Amino acid sequence: MIASNIFRWIGSLFTDILFLPFKKLRLDVATSDYGWWLSNGINWLFLVVLLVLLYYWMSQSRKFLKEGTEDRA
């Protein structure tokens, strides 16, 4: 009983609270001319953030590789 309530709460959290911006965005896409650009703009924003983080990660990896401090137990 308790486990099912926890999973129902998690489902409610995602569907009722966390996905509200996406529901609003989906309605904007259907009713406006710029909705397609807005939707793809969000995807490009996520891609840029991912690439920046990947660059940072790789630069830190290169730094530790040059110092010889990687994989030290």
- Whole-number pLDDT of residue 62: 92
Q: What is the per-residue pLDDT across 18-64, written as a single tens digit (0 to 9) for each?
A: 888 777 777 666 666 666 777 788 889 999 999 999 999 999 999 98
Task: Report how far residue 70's alpha carbon sits from residue 58's, in angstroms, rounded to the nearest whole number.
Answer: 13
Domain check: are 44 and 55 in the same one? yes
Residue 9, domain extent: 1-31
Instruction: Give the pLDDT score at 37.
Output: 77
The residue-averaged pLDDT of 61-69 equals 88
Q: Please give the angle made by the CA atoms of 68, 53 and 11, to the nearest 5 degrees.
A: 125
Q: Are residues 27 and 40 in the same domain?
A: no
pLDDT the model gives residue 29 = 60
- Is residue 73 assigned to a domain? no
What is the reported pTM?
0.55
Same domain? 39 vs 27: no
- Are residue 41 and residue 53 in the same domain, yes or no? yes
